[in-house]
Chain A
Amino acid sequence: MQSKLNVFLLIIFTSSVFCQVENLKWRKADFSYEKQIHSSKRDYSFESENAGEFLTKSFTNAYWFFISDVDGDNCPFRPTCSTFFLQSAKETNIFQASLMFFDRFTRDMNIAKGHDHYPRVSAGYYYDPPQNYTLNQGRINYLPPAFIVDDE
């Protein structure tokens, strides 16, 4: 009885490991001739959870449409300063987001900023997400300068 159980367990063990190998085998790649598009599109939607957010998003959309989309690509960071402000407001509150924004703007004005400070996104901009500036040490996701982030 014991030997039958051992054989049974061995078969189950072997077949389960075999299934693992089966899952790890590579298959025909889903390859596309198309070129990758690195530039991200703006989210002009007005979706919001409250009136404050709606107001903020309205001003942001207006800023993007009339000013940011027309004055060229001036921000070396991703997310851009306006998007940074929006994301900061969502993560914290409007006051803290303002402080984060002014700090970000100051860092943007630093003409000697960082090859050796910020990681980059694949399009070459510096990657500087708001989660690192919420004053919550546990939320900081430090990435070294040589790192290339897959998406923004």
Chain B
Amino acid sequence: MRKYLTLFFLIPPAILSQSTSFDFHSPENIKKFADYLFCEGDYLRAIEQYELVNEKLDNDTTKFKVMLGYSALGLYNESNEIFKGINDKSIFYPDANFLSFKNQLISEPGMINAPSIHSFNSFQLESFSKLTNISMLYEDKFNISRENFIAPFDAEELNQVSTFYDYKVEPPHKSPALAGTLSAIIPGSGKMYVGEWGDGITSLLVTSLFAFLAYDNFRADNTTRAWVFTGLGAFFYAGNIYGSVASAQIFNARIGFEFNNGLELFLKQQNYFLPEYDFCN
């Protein structure tokens, strides 16, 4: 009986000592909470919590998660700052290095010049080659053969990547000089050449109308009106040539914009050739 009584008396103090020692803000509990926030996608809050414990639970996993968090928030420079603190002996170093290339490519589109690191595994080496080759598309000077460019890519990526290559080497630009010349010969034809059919037909009609009005008024000896229509017609004609040159330039700017947009979309779909990290299951 006394043994049972002793046992019963000891249980509540054991429970009490556990609950009084529960600390919301202990490093372990902060880390648990931070992991939960990271999995919920509340990255800024997760980063804040990880930073609170980084000194005490200095851990490359949390540093890499902070790096991922900053990158997901679009804070690419901050993400790359975290990379500087990751030990090159860490198992996450190759992934972190790769992520830093992705951050660099998004924040400053341009060719990736860094060499691959020796700790990349074969999958990472392949992904790195893909990313490096794609990054060349952002440069004005593009000197690589088609075979070398498409070599690292898989069968399902080849189609799209080949299109990017062809677009880069021979963009479907329109010649501003040709557009201007065509409009000088037939008003509006330069705009039609650029694909602006509505504007081209309007130009043709307006210039023709003023030409007719000028001719008709000269024929009817209404000299003042005739000269007014001639002057206006001349300005519309000159404006049509000018506008055709400008249209061709805007068309070429559109080609560049759509190319960059398409490239960005492709990279996002491929997640910049990074694997999907699952820290939550």
Contact = CB atoms under 8 A, between A and B. Distances in A.
Verify whether A and B have any Cβ pair under 8 Å. yes
Interface of A: 10-11, 13-14, 17-18, 20-21, 24-25, 96, 98-103, 105-107, 109-114, 117, 132-133, 135, 137, 140, 142, 144
B239 interface: yes
B239 A103 contact: yes
B81 interface: yes
Interface of B: 44, 47-48, 51, 54-55, 73, 75, 78, 81-82, 85, 176, 196, 198-199, 201-203, 206, 235-236, 238-240, 242-243, 245-246, 249-250, 252-254, 256-257, 261
Given A106-B240, A110-B201, A133-B246, 6 more contacts: A17-B51, A21-B47, A100-B246, A107-B199, A140-B249, A142-B253
B44 A135 contact: no
Contacts of B75: 24
Given A109-B202, A142-B253, A103 B243 contact: yes
B211 to A, nearest CB: 14
A132 B243 contact: no
Nearest to A26: B44
B202 A107 contact: yes
Contact of A106 (B44, B47, B243, B245): B243
Nearest to B202: A110
Contacts of A109: 202, 206
Contacts of A25: 44, 48
A107 B199 CA distance: 6
B54 A142 contact: no
Contacts of B253: 132, 137, 140, 142
Given A107-B199, A132-B246, A21 B252 contact: no
Contacts of B78: 17, 20
B138 to A, nearest CB: 17
Given A103-B242, A106-B243, A132 B44 contact: no
A107 B243 contact: yes
B51 A21 contact: yes
Given A17-B51, A20-B78, A113-B199, A106 B246 contact: no
Nearest to A20: B78
Contacts of B257: 142, 144
A111 B206 CA distance: 13
B4 to A, nearest CB: 53
A99 B202 contact: no
Contact of A132 (B81, B85, B198, B250): B250
Nearest to B54: A14
Contact of A112 (B82, B198, B243, B250): B198
B141 to A, nearest CB: 17
Contacts of B246: 100, 103, 132-133, 135
Contact of A18 (B51, B199, B203, B239): B51
A96 B243 CA distance: 11
B242 to A, nearest CB: 4
Contacts of B55: 10-11, 14
Nearest to B73: A24
B240 A103 contact: yes
A106 B199 contact: yes
A21 B82 contact: no
Closest 5 CB pairs of A and B: A102-B239, A103-B243, A112-B198, A142-B253, A99-B242
A100 B43 CA distance: 49
